[in-house]
Amino acid sequence: MIAAQRPMVQSLLDGVARIGADPPGITREAYGRGENEAMALLAGAAQALDLDCSFDAGANLTMRWPGTDPEAPPILVGSHLDSVVQGGNFDGAAGVIAGLAAVAALQASGVRPRAGIEVLALRCEEAVWFGLGLIGSRSLLARLPAGALALPHARSGLTLGQSIAACGGDPARLANGVPLRDPKTLGAYLEVHIEQAPQLIEAEQAVAICLANPGNVRHPRIRISGEDAHTGLPHRFRRDAALAGAEFALALERLWLEEDRAGRPMAVTIGRFHTLADRHAMTVVPGQFELSLDLRAYDPTHLARLEARLQAIAAEVGAARDVTIALGERSAAAPGAMEAGIVAGLARAAGKLGLAAPRLNSPGSHDANNFAAAGVPTGMLLVRNANGSHNPHEAMATDDLLAATGVLALFLAEHAA
């Protein structure tokens, strides 16, 4: 019955691509036209399957297939529909579409689950829009940090609260800190997502079972302050913010390599790295420099230790270069370890379908992190994808997504029964 869902799956993949078309890639702006139109497209597909569609106070879309036992904890299947600017088509959207396809396959097979199955399209997973990621699941589970509703949107300038209200949500409801769904009443959360490192390309396998997602600590606007000066100034007098930025970045890379050699996986990403556009010039020693930092690891204790090292490195470089390094605003996401029983269940389902499905860590943080951190039993499937993600060249094959959908559907048939 999975193969029979191919036309619907391909139509939805093509539909969200048309909505987000922004050559050379895809842009589906969170709380904007792209995300809203993609939600409308998928809601239409869900209604064609007789699913009940509703929006919560965070403006997340829930597409619900009721079970025969209204007291049974529902199983949630979700991901997101927004993208980074000029990214690829499959990061997030493929997972929501897989959820709908799994429900369609179960319906076609005559399955009627005891526990309800809910497909979620979660808002604003990507951190590019507000400097804070995983916003839909944070909203759902009351995990928004203090002050988040006042964060400005990168394009519209509206605050997060205003953006949610503009999409029919209720930011006042989110501000009270009470989860929109009690985690204790949820049976499980499952997510399908393209791989973000070419591990499955390397292994020549279509699908993997995720073991864990990293948590992260993010500083979107690190500011280094030294002193503007003439280019002829001798080195001993300089307070060069740009060279301090370079030294800071290389020190973080050395930390990463040390941790790798010790067998402690982590990652450092510096996405913004620049002198100030309105001040820099070829004949000025720069007194100001800015960068962003995403620091991630799979274990909360390890992540806390790395954050302490970050602060020490900032102090050391600042002292050596006679500059001030202000880390600035901070956001964090908890690491997400997948629930052992779900990992085993997904492995059994994959085995029945003849899929090797290696067990791998994901290099990315996902909405699954928040469900796992809230105590909801959580599992993820990774789908083979060439060329990584967050770029226009994501290259997931529809057949690989259907393979993951088959594993998901079989797991749901067994665990929602």
DSSP state of 87: B
pLDDT per residue as tens digits for the range 139-149: 999 999 999 99
First-to-last alpha carbon distance for the chain, in angstroms, is: 18
* Mean predicted confidence (pLDDT) in 11-34: 98
pLDDT per residue as tens digits for the range 182-212: 999 999 999 999 999 899 999 999 999 999 9
CA 66 to chain centre: 27
Residue 333: the pLDDT is 86
CA 351 to chain centre: 28
Q: d(Cα 368, Cα 77) in Å, to the nearest integer?
A: 10
3-state helix, strand, coil in the chain (%, to 5): 40, 20, 40
Determine how many CB atoms are found less than 10 A away from the CB of residue 246: 16
Strand partners, 224: 289, 325
pLDDT per residue as tens digits for the range 212-246: 999 999 999 999 999 999 999 999 999 999 999 99
What's the predicted TM-score (pTM) here? 0.89
Torsion angles phi and psi, residue 78, rounded to 5? -150, 170
Residue 415: the pLDDT is 86
* Res. 267: pLDDT tops 80: yes
Tell me the domains of the chain and their CATH numbers: 3-214+335-415 (3.40.630.10), 215-333 (3.30.70.360)
Determine how many CB atoms are found less than 10 A away from the CB of residue 361: 18
Q: How many CA atoms lie within 13 A of 130 on its CB side?
A: 28
